Amino acid sequence: MASREAKGETVLVTGASGFFGSTLVRGLLDRGYTVRAGVLNPDDRAETDHLLALAAGAGEGRLSIFRCDLLDGAALADAARGCSGVFHLASPCTVDPVKDHLNQLMVPAVEGTRNVLRAAKAAGGVRRVVVTSSISAIVPSPGWPAGEVRDERCWTDIDYCEKNGVWYPASKTLAEKAAWKFAEENGLDVVVVNPGTVLGPMIPPTINASMAMFRRLLEGCTEEYADFFMGPVHVEDVALAHILVFENPSASGRHICVESICHWSDFAAKVAEIYPNYKVPKLPKDTQPGLVRAEVGSKKLIALGLQVSPMEKIIRDAVESLKSRGFIS
């Protein structure tokens, strides 16, 4: 359904070729936007073919591919020029150990965010930037008051991350803080979405970090992701959340985007209940130390009109997608 706001609006999406990026591009096209899809390498068909296929049904000229290397300010400025909105998704994502955390995670996340915001500010016509942060900018947060449900006031503890070599949450936290600092200093309208573990139907040809986590669970992996999990969320809900915060002038600040606040063990138990034929392990009751469970985690987004998909739908859609692609049997 085309919304009033979308008529003739051109928006830039960085990280457009990824799992979530492709779903957001489809959502924006469906809503009537003209989309500039920012990808690392426009000549790589694995990055562009699935995006061009989405555009085929949307009408002539509705999607164009732009090179968006996060460390190339000139390329970003070129992509943002003439846009009224920017969705900044691109950031390295991994829950696995990295050899060179500075160059693999920190620099692209933090400097990349600053560069995208600079490009948005310089473009002149950008009315709002939506930054994709993560629940990894909220947990791990061992200093949060015991027994209290985490909300948008909660921030990941950088000292804890550095002491424990937990670099992905550190990168997301520092990138989000850099975005808020830039917005304040430069008068740029920025809103943030903090998704949980994003799962559901895959559009790109390759498997991403969160769907790989899910596949490993189905194969019997007993990893508990103590510092990386706060709840799952459907990829289509995350896409709509980004569109809602862009279109609603009243949206401000951070927005947790999860089906519920729960432990990895709760999620695993639900997967095992729906799909007893997979090798889902039985995990300890509390896999996320100190994380208080809550049935509703996305209060701000629900107030903006988001209808959150239930956990069963998230799991079924993710399994069916993995099966259809041959990633699991």
Active site amino acids = 172
Peptide bond into 140 cis (omega under 30): yes
Residue 324 neighbours by CB under 8 Å, 6+ apart: none
Please say whether the dihedral angle defined by the alpha carbons of residues 239, 244, 249 and 250, taken in this order, is positive or negative.
negative
Q: How far apart are CA 78 and CA 68, in angstroms?
A: 9
Which helix H or strand E contains 274, and what residues bound it?
helix 264-274
Q: How far apart are the first and last CA of the chain?
A: 35
Residue 73 Rama label (left phi>0; alpha psi -120 to 50; beta): alpha
Closest CA to 39 of 80, 90, 112: 90
- The DSSP-derived string for 21-82 is HHHHHHHHHHTT-EEEEEES-TT-HHHHHHHHHHHHTT-TTSEEEEE--TT-HHHHHHHHTT
Three-state secondary-structure class, residue 11: strand
